[in-house]
Structure 1
Amino acid sequence: MNNRTKWLVVAGVSAVALAATAAVGVVAWQQYQTRQVAPSAAETTASDDWATGDRVVFRNTALGEGYGLVASVPLAEPSGVRALTAVACDRVDATPEEFSCLRTERGVVPSYSASLYTNDGVVRQTWPLPGIPSRTRISDDGTRIATTSFVTGHSYATIGFSTETVIHDDAGGDFGNFEEWTFIVDGAPSAPLDRNFWGVTFIDDEAFYATAGMTNSGKTYLVKGDIPSRTLTTIAEDVECPSLSPDGTRIAFKSVTAGSGPTVHWTPAVMDLATGEVELLPEPRNVDDQIEWLDDDTILYGMPRDDQAGDYDVWALAADGSGDPAVLIEHAWSPSVVRR
């Protein structure tokens, strides 16, 4: 085979591969569109009052009209009619005045972005993400917005995944990729090549907790971040996706209780920050989510439904391990509790 023939073969194979990729993208886009125009599987209403009162804000995953839109239900009536916005997000976090939205722009070739919205739907700022949206959190005062996305891979169970975590401010600036910060392990600076950071939970506008993970060893740390000095300091091991309790005394997180890599099993757990004591909670299923606190006694997390891909429920569980999991909101994902 001469060189010209070789290049023709390569070109032909490449064209077939590109055509197949485009076809898959078109089918996925068509499926997404179909899910959005059918009658909704949940009782919904379009309302300008969606952001009033104490509420739970979430991504609506009820198949049909309104699928993927940011929605809310009153905190006192989580099973009630959900008020829909016009904003579609993959991940959402909210404060009384605004919300953070991570989004996949679906099409033949997808793109990814993060936006900060006021509650009336006005975009305050938008910035691109390098990959699939994963986590977002806003500080209580609304001045800091954390985002995590996958640069490679699409799951924390994927071997060799890579993430980018950045904190933006509400003026449009950012504090750089966490991999550019000083990482302090056991009291000394460290810069392992396989480090990743994700799962920010804010203490205030200058400090936060997050996860540091090593993809080669599978080791994870709870780290405390300091924004002014741009440092990340390890304070405990085997903690993923922390979430600080409303009273600031405990961390809820997902703990590896079996397997590794693609077979890993995570169980919700709570750590007392003063004593370091950890209690595993009575949830037998694999929970791959960043936990949210409903109040000081109850945690929330999303679980996929067995009967429909792309659909989830938000579950509630007593933080002291005294009860069994129960569905709080059907057809919902990425919950954020907002109290005025």
Structure 2
Amino acid sequence: MTRTARLTILLIAVLLLGTAGAAAVLRAADRSGRRDQEQAGGPPVRTGTVSLRPPPGGRQLLVRNLAWGPHRDEIATVAADRPNGPRTVSGVKCLRFHAAAGTGICLQAEHQALQDTYRAVVLDAHLRERHRFPAAGIPTRARVSPSGHLVAWTVFVSGDSYAGTKFSTRTAIVDTRTWAIDDNLESFAVTKDGRPYRASDINIWGVTFADDTRFYATLATGGQTYLVQGDVAARSLTTLHRNVECPSLSPDGTRLAYKKRVPHASPDAPWRLYVLDLRSMKETRTAERRNIDDQALWSDNSTLVYSLPGDYGSDLWTVPADGSGTARRMMVSALAPAYPR
């Protein structure tokens, strides 16, 4: 064998060994990353295609992934009947999120050297940006109408909690067909207890849509909170019931889940989860007895999903809406659920 041939064989061997070694390192890193992910606070997380359209013959659950790792805060999807199964992450990060009918609303932070700013981004069914709007403060609530034609979001413009009284919110609604925006629902005409009402201390938050005209929200004034029914076309708000915060309309449109301040509770943990029948205005207390600071979501017409503090920020819990049963943890390390329909 010539010297040239021996050198060629040696070079090929070195290249093969290097390739094999690099592959082994990558496989080990991948396994280590998955182990770290599982130990850190959640099931395996994998990258892939995420859509806001439900898969054929099944249901999916979309969440903000809070499991520690490089994909924390990304929108992820799991099978709705296996919420603690592997998560497929999208690469799109949101602080608050909701989706319906192929439209998503994603509230994001823009990290600046001196102070973070925020934006509301409307997404298409493939999580591609359609339009963006500046947001006036820290994101706290987001909703999409059943048709996907309207999106709403609420931010804190001062303060960072609903528990006290020293906070101010800003709530906006956008029509995704025209990009027309009502950037502050406090400009809507208010009817309170059957009479026109004006006050400088009005705050509005927590929109939930019935259709492309009618919605519900919370209005606060004079130290009280009220459920209001809103009309986008008429730009009006009408009070319906006292002591209702962060309402969430059931899919059949007959009931609202909400958080209610209860007597003798701690000022820092004042809310319990209730359901209001819109026909009778009868209130039902759910079996969840802990403090709820979230806008609950209906997974169907009988079950509520909501967040509670967890080891990695937030876990999702579920409870029957009729007051029966018990609360149970549904999913760890997750926030901002949505069931695309």
Q: TM-score range by the shorter chain?
A: 0.7 to 0.9
Q: Does 1:80 align with 2:85?
A: yes
Q: Which runs of 4+ in 1 moved over 6 A?
A: none
1:177 equivalent to 2:179? Answer no
Question: Matched residue pairs, number?
Answer: 299
Corresponding residue number in structure 2 for 1:133: 139
Name the SS of the counterpart of 2:68 in structure 1. Answer: coil
- Cα deviation for residue 69 of structure 1 reads 0.5
292-301 or 116-125: which moved more? Answer: 116-125
Alignment partner of 1:247 is 2:249: no
- Structure 2: distance between partners of 1:105 and 1:233: 35
- Partner of residue 48, structure 1: 49
1:189 to 181, 187, 196: 196
8 A Cα contact 1:312 1:332, kept in partner: yes
Correspondence for 2:325: 323
Gaps of 5+ in 2: 1-32
Larger radius of gyration: 2
More displaced 10-residue stretch of structure 1: 50-59 or 201-210: 50-59
Distance (Å, rounded) in 2 between the aligned partners of 1:186 and 1:96: 35
Q: What residue in structure 2 maps to residue 93 of structure 1?
A: 98
Structure-1 residue corresponding to 2:219:
212
Residues 87-143 of structure 1: CA distance to partner in whole angstroms, max 9, x if unpaired?
100100012412110112234310111001113232100001110001110111111
Q: In the TM superposition, what is the alpha-carbon distance from 1:260 to its structure 2 partner?
A: 7.8
C-alpha distance 292-228 of structure 1, shift in aligned 2 (>3 A):
same
Q: Is the 8 A contact 1:38 1:65 kept in 2?
A: no
Shift of 1:261: 9.0
Q: Hey, what's the Cα distance between the residues in 2 that align with 1:127 and 1:260? A: 38
CA distance in 2, matches of 1:140, 1:100: 13
Q: Judging changes above 3 Å, is the alpha-carbon distance between structure 1 residues 156 and 261 closer, same or farther for their aligned structure 2 residues?
A: farther
Match of 2:282 in 1: 277
2:118 to 99, 106, 112: 112
Letter of the 2:182 partner, please give it: F
What is the alpha-carbon distance in structure 2 between the residues aligned to residue 44 and residue 297 of structure 1? 30
The 1:70/1:127 distance shift into structure 2, 3 A limit, reads same
Q: CA RMSD in A?
A: 1.9
CA distance in 1, matches of 2:104, 2:183: 21
Under a length normalisation based on structure 1, what TM-score does the superposition of the two structures give?
0.84
Structure 1 residues 316 and 123, CA, compared in 2 at 3 Å: closer, same or farther?
A: same
- The answer to whether the 8 A contact 1:258-1:264 is kept is no
- 1:49-81 deviation digits (Å, cap 9, x = unpaired): 454422111111111121001111111221211
SS of the aligned residue for 1:179 comes to helix
Query: How far apart are the structure 1 equivalents of 2:280 and 2:210?
Result: 18
Choose which of 200, 207, 213 in structure 2 pairs with 1:200.
207
| Distance change in 2, residues 1:224/1:160 (3 Å) | same
For 1:142 and 1:185, how far apart are their aligned partners in 2?
30
SS at match of 1:338: coil
- Is 1:121 aligned with 2:127? yes
Judged with a 3 Å threshold, the aligned counterparts in structure 2 of structure 1 residues 63 and 259 are, in CA distance, closer, same or farther, namely: farther
Structure 1 residue matching 2:186: 3-state secondary structure: helix
